[in-house]
Amino acid sequence: MRIHEPYEAKRNLQSPNRNISPITTSIDKERRLMVGGCLLSDLAKKYGTPLYILDEETIRKSCSTYRESLKKHYSGESLCIFASKANSSIAISKIIESEDLGIDVVSSGELITALKGGIKNSHIFLHGNNKSEEELRLGYKNKVNIVIDNDHDIEKLAEIIPKDSYPANLMLRMTPGIECHTHEYIRTGHLDSKFGFDPDRIEEIIIKLKSYSWAKLEGLHAHIGSQIFELSPHEDLAEVLAEVFDLAKRIGHPMQDLNIGGGLGIRYIDSDDPPTIDDWIKTVANAVSKACLKRNLDLPRLICEPGRSLIGSSGVTLYAIGARKTIPGLNTYLSIDGGMSDNPRPITYESAYSACLADRPLDSSEEKVTLAGKHCESGDVLIKNLEIPKTKSGEILVVFGTGAYNASMSSNYNRIPRPAAVLVANGHSDLIQRREQPEDLLKYDILPERLRGVNLN
């Protein structure tokens, strides 16, 4: 990707998910790329590569846009909660807390991180299709909202919660029969999903929960997909949820929350065209209001849980360019010092990304290359057919849109340490996650006594 001069003028400052780069992206006098007032090549020198960079202003703008759009378009109470599976750290949790948002978590690790970041217990929602006893105990002990996903959750909570103890704050997850893709969606009675209760069992489960003194069912949850560019499926979703919400209230549960999930997409490449955050919220809010009015229901607290669309476009990853292999008439491989261990999305989902050189973002493209990772896998390719200026070893490459599902899905494949993460704002950079060292990867290794000093040959 070449960053053109007019590109900055076209940036959508109100809806960061519509941009490929962070909203603070700029070019200095020497035509070098900056984010958050920091020169990217300087950050590479200071912190090393690969390096995750998050722009604080972009994150905060996404938070405030979700929060303000809910207030503008929905007359009832509302709460935006961040799907922390997209990128979980104490620093990010602290930003979320300071913006008065909540957070959803799916493990003890994410839950502890949210608590350490200062998130209110009442604003934490524990998800998961196979919660362990430890996770359920931790959630109950800290009085967070527990999203019931299946019979296993109910059975475990019945065992865990002491008699005559305080009730658990519960939300019921259902499979709504709506599956949304980027450009189309389908609605069926049943969907093959590991998440949530099937529609045919909802009434049975709602009645069953009424028989438990420890069960305080306060809300309903559903989620219809990820990287969504369509708005209309949410109108069907609102109808389904309102019908079940009404049923639960009639059965006698203190229902107050309706969580419509998240899934709004972001722009990774020029051809991506996601709705704005405000348009997404407007559609959801109007659909829920209409569905509730139709059933004479008081408006519930409307909850949404964006992940990618809140943090994805705030992130860039820096790599140092290394080896080059040219196969005449066929391909040129340009290798970087990272790859599938710090960004598994291309090899897993064939995800597309945009990239440019940190210090030559305005230079014209001179060749088309395959951007290859350093891992021992032929499929470790980050970007195919990348148009880029002629490069030399050691130059810094910037890959955009890496704020979501890069750090959180990273691994130590080939025993490669995970990158550091840096938060930038107003010309300052702060380390928020240290770079792993090779020695760190041996921390949990144990050499059995019987193998010590033994010549296995």
Active-site positions read 376
Q: How many whole angstroms separate alpha carbon 94 and alpha carbon 82? A: 12
CA-based torsion, 445, 451, 453, 457: positive or negative? negative
Decide if 243 contacts 196 (C-beta within 8 A): no
Q: How many whole angstroms separate alpha carbon 306 and alpha carbon 287? A: 18
Which candidate, 121, 122, 95, 126, places its Cα nearest to that of 109? 126
List b or e across 425-437, with b for residues whose CB sees 16 or more CB atoms inside 10 angstroms.
beeebeebbebbe
Angle between helices 277-294 and 233-251 in degrees, nearest 10: 40
Kindly state the tokens that stand for 226: 């990820």
Residue recorded with tokens 């958050």: 36
How open is the CA angle 296-303-20, to the nearest 5 degrees?
135
Going by C-beta distance under 8 Å and a sequence separation of 6 or more, which residues neighbour residue 137?
A: 160
Chain-centroid distance, C-alpha 210: 34
Which candidate, 168, 129, 162, places its Cα nearest to that of 146? 168
How many CA atoms are closer than 13 Å to the CA of 312, on its beta-carbon side?
27
Q: How many whole angstroms separate alpha carbon 415 and alpha carbon 330? A: 32
Kindly state the tokens that stand for 292: 């509730």
Kindly state the tokens that stand for 229: 């560019």
Q: What is the DSSP letter of 441?
A: G
Q: How many whole angstroms separate alpha carbon 17 and alpha carbon 58? A: 9
Q: What is the SS3 assignment for 119? A: coil
Q: How many whole angstroms separate alpha carbon 160 and alpha carbon 127? A: 17
Q: First CA to last CA across the chain, in angstroms?
A: 53
Cis peptide before 50 (omega within 30 of 0): yes
Q: What is the DSSP letter of 417?
A: P
Q: How many whole angstroms separate alpha carbon 57 and alpha carbon 47? A: 21
Q: What is the DSSP letter of 314?
A: G
